[in-house]
Amino acid sequence: MIEACNDEHVPNANPGALRDILSRWPASMAMLVLNEVECRLRLMAELRGKLDVVGVDEVHELQPLFAHGLWMFGPEFESAEFTANLGMTRVIRKFLKDPMAVGSRNRPDFVVLPDSSIGLYACPSFGGSHEVDGIKHLAIIELKTTGTEIGDTERSQVLKYVKELRNRGCFKAHTKIDCYVLGEDIERGEEEAWSSGPQTTVTLMRYDTLLERAESRLLNLYEKIKHAPFLMDQAERSEEDQGLRRPAMNDIEAAWPH
């Protein structure tokens, strides 16, 4: 492979640089790292493009990105595999009993509300026999569409979700619960994270702040290589998506049956 690294075989390549990389990194490991970095940078670029649209459809445009983007919130989300928890999603849908609430036919893993969407992501805990034994860590992500301000009302609402899940026995006393409500802006004086007991925190966060954290966690690589071909392609696709119409109401399911 190293011998093949020349301008004839690899256009625009620096053969010496490629030889140096492959002398220090096994090719399989280099591919693994580069694929992961590219995936995360693509996600950030796509999220950035969608947030430029006022009134973005958070259900179809934003929420799916967060299923692969929990790492943006902090290193604690790197240590275990988080997946959407459909059981808890159904509990919240039934709890709301809101005739205005709608559920997407294609997104049963989200709670879809008129002005926001809620995703619940859990990683399991394991007992002494290494079998799944409840939930170790739960993340509740509520996304408000762009152009909205969030504050104490939104914080109080997400705490009601936690209380309902707790009353239904959906997790144990030791389960760590991190709730995030994201919006374009935060009411003055509501920026601090709020704790409810030793295991539950609710954080109101601006989308811009989340992107800044994500860039920092990737060593600010986005700014350094934002002109890389794969990121330029992503930017072009985001611009094309912005020109498409938003889903019509008949694309969205009627009220969730109770």
What is the per-residue pLDDT for 250?
35
pLDDT in tens, 157-176: 999 999 999 999 999 888 99
Residue whose structure tokens are 């159904």: 90
The DSSP 8-state label assigned to residue 45 in this structure reads: H
What is the per-residue pLDDT for 52?
84
What is the per-residue pLDDT for 98?
61
Provide block-wise average pLDDT over 10 residues at a time, the chain (258 residues): 46 71 83 86 88 81 85 85 90 77 64 88 81 87 91 95 94 92 93 87 94 84 70 66 45 34
Helix axes 86-96, 152-167, angle to 10 degrees: 110
What is the per-residue pLDDT for 107?
67
Handedness of CA 170, 173, 175, 177 (dihedral sign): positive
What is the per-residue pLDDT for 3?
46
125 close to 134: Cβ distance less than 8 angstroms: yes
What is the per-residue pLDDT for 218?
81
Q: Domain residue spans in the chain?
A: 40-251
182 close to 206: Cβ distance less than 8 angstroms: yes
What is the per-residue pLDDT for 236?
66
User: In angstroms, what CA-CA distances link 181 with 49, 80, 107, 142, 164?
Assistant: 20, 22, 19, 5, 18
Residue 180, SS3 per DSSP: strand
Residue whose structure tokens are 């989308």: 207
What is the per-residue pLDDT for 73?
92
Q: 106 is written with which tokens? A: 């294609």
51 close to 146: Cβ distance less than 8 angstroms: yes
Give the whole-angstrom CA distance, residue 54 versus residue 70.
Answer: 23
What is the per-residue pLDDT for 119?
93
Residue 36, SS3 per DSSP: helix
